[in-house]
Amino acid sequence: MRRSFAPAPKSSLIAAKGVPQSMRIALLSGVLLAGCASARVAPEAVPAQANPVSTADGSTTSPARATRLPDAAQQGAMVLGTTSPAAIVEYAGRRLKVTPYGTFVFGIGRDASGDAVVRIRQPDASNGIEHHIRITPRDWPIEQVRGVPPATVNPPKAIAERIEREQAAVAEARTRDGDETGFAQVFIRPVQGRISGRFGRARSYNGQPGAPHSGMDIAAATGTPVKAPASGTVIFANPDLYLTGGTLVIDHGHGISSTFLHLSRIDVKVGDTVRQGDVVAAVGASGRATGPHLHWGMNWFDVRIDPQLVLERNL
């Protein structure tokens, strides 16, 4: 039998001492969305030890902590939700971290379809509740990329093996599940410039079909400073990968990371903590590139998400 609870005053949560500004924004908005439709609220039970509140008839009851998630999300979206900090949240076979302020995050893949199912169990509940988020499809035009060095399109065996090793090292770095909360910030552009390539579009290199584009390309001159779009920790830095050239990965926490490719210079090292807006590298044309630009990719662990949707996130 389900019990009824009075909602906890949101103002008391926002005013809590020690809550970072980015997380206060998360609490004020209830849910932060990237490529998502309006949020719905599902009141759920919270731990029995929560401070009781008075009701209109003079009795007391435990406060409810609402779970907030969007009704729908686009392919390639980053989704942030809120719930009780002590809740168990699961998505896609993975248990998600929940911040002390009740925020969690996950990504919707480029080719995902149907519903994204998030299972949440509150600490005093015996069973979890499934929340279904409708995944809305997108169109993926084909981009023709010409003038790419042939050896990067059809590499010889030794080079192909090198590429495989290098990409495996980057993938391994992205398995980190850090406690950073930069993912909840309002992301900024790492560089200013024309968008010359968009996430998810199928690509043909010199007329040969290739993998879909994994991020957004921003045209900029060689040497243009690259800024951290959100705070985080450097988890990978290599100036000379075969395909991607100068490559840098920043972990924003909870599986969300930014990857910068084709760099001419890297100004940070693995283990460094960076703040949003810090200069971390410089634009270049290293690796498989036809001209200077910044490739900015984003991931939730091994799931690629669209940086443009993250920039367009509504508060």
User: What are 118-134's pLDDT values in tens digits?
Assistant: 999 998 888 999 999 99
Answer yes or no: is pLDDT of 90 > 70: yes
* Domain made up of 142-311: CATH architecture: Distorted Sandwich (2.70)
Lowest average pLDDT, out of 26-30, 251-255, 290-294, goes to 26-30
Cα–Cα distance for residue pair 287/262, rounded to 1 Å: 6
Number of Cβ within a 10 Å radius of residue 169 = 13
Grade residue 47 by pLDDT with cuts at 50, 70 and 90.
very low
Beta bridge partners of 68: 41, 82
Give per-residue pLDDT as tens, 51-75.
433 333 443 333 346 899 999 999 9
**What pLDDT score was predicted for residue 83?**
96
Grade residue 35 by pLDDT with cuts at 50, 70 and 90.
low
**What pLDDT score was predicted for residue 146?**
67
Question: Strands 256-263 and 202-205, how do they pair?
Answer: unpaired
Give per-residue pLDDT as tens, 188-247.
999 999 998 888 777 666 666 667 778 999 999 999 999 999 999 999 999 999 999 999
Q: Break the chain into its structural domains and give their ranges.
A: 6-136, 142-311
Cα–Cα distance for residue pair 257/176, rounded to 1 Å: 9
**What pLDDT score was predicted for residue 204?**
64
**What pLDDT score was predicted for residue 88?**
96
The more confidently predicted of residues 10 and 146 is 146
Cα–Cα distance for residue pair 231/156, rounded to 1 Å: 39
Cα–Cα distance for residue pair 114/72, rounded to 1 Å: 10
Three-class SS state of 77: strand
